[in-house]
Copies of this chain bind each other. A is one copy, B any other.
Amino acid sequence: MKITDSPLPSSIAIVAETGVIPQATAHYRKRLSDLRGLFLDPAALEQRIRDENDPVCYENYAFNNGKTEGDIFFGTTIIYPGKVGLEYHLTRGHYHRKRDHAETYQALSGRGLVLFEREDGTTCTAELVPGKVTYIPPFWAHRSVNTGKVPLVFLWTCPVEAGHDYEALRGRGMRQVVVERDGCPCIENRP
């Protein structure tokens, strides 16, 4: 990139309660039907798709059209509250295409958990709550889960070249799941 090709700096508004970024350069929604194969209870999933007209599970706003290595990519993910069977709403989860690239998450409103795992089989979790920055080190796949009653809105920030690899987790999900037991979120190994 030449100096004169660099875009102007700007302050990008983010609505903490909804996650909306009015100046977003990209936006997508994932409905429950887009997440087949990820939940523990496929029958409960199909029932909610039918009964609730395939509700949105989460959506994503991103900022920055830059593509140069070293540039920064950020945006919001909004996971709506709800469960499929006992399991809380979640994102697909991904490794970075560049496995050694890191990221941060910051809850802006709501609360949840991040499930982590590495290709050597290690697992780990961290809470996603306002007032904390969740550091996602190199080599850790990450999936977010809304364990609350209101939308979980979080900001993510990573090097633009990190990329997403959803394939490595496709069809099997992650090794741990977050389910409701006696009204509380509980992290368990996938049966």
Contacts and interface: CB of A to CB of B under 8 A. Distances in A.
Interface of A: 1, 3-4, 6-16, 63-64, 66, 68-72, 74, 98-104, 106, 114, 116, 118-120, 124, 126-129, 131-140, 142, 155, 157-162
B132 A12 contact: yes
Contacts of A116: 9
Given A11-B133, A70-B161, A106-B155, 9 more contacts: A11-B128, A11-B135, A14-B131, A14-B132, A63-B133, A68-B100, A72-B102, A72-B159, A74-B104
Given A116-B9, A128-B11, A100 B134 contact: no
Nearest to A160: B102
Interface centre among A114, A119, A135, A160 (most CB of B within 10 A): A135
B70 A6 contact: no
B6 A133 contact: no
A3 to B, nearest CB: 5
Given A124-B9, A126-B10, A127-B11, A70 B102 contact: yes
A13 B1 CA distance: 36
B128 A66 contact: no
Contact of A138 (B15, B71, B118, B142): B71
B159 A159 contact: yes
A134 B10 contact: yes
A65 to B, nearest CB: 11
Nearest to A4: B120
A22 B154 CA distance: 22
Contacts of A9: 114, 116, 124, 126, 134-137, 140, 142
A156 to B, nearest CB: 10
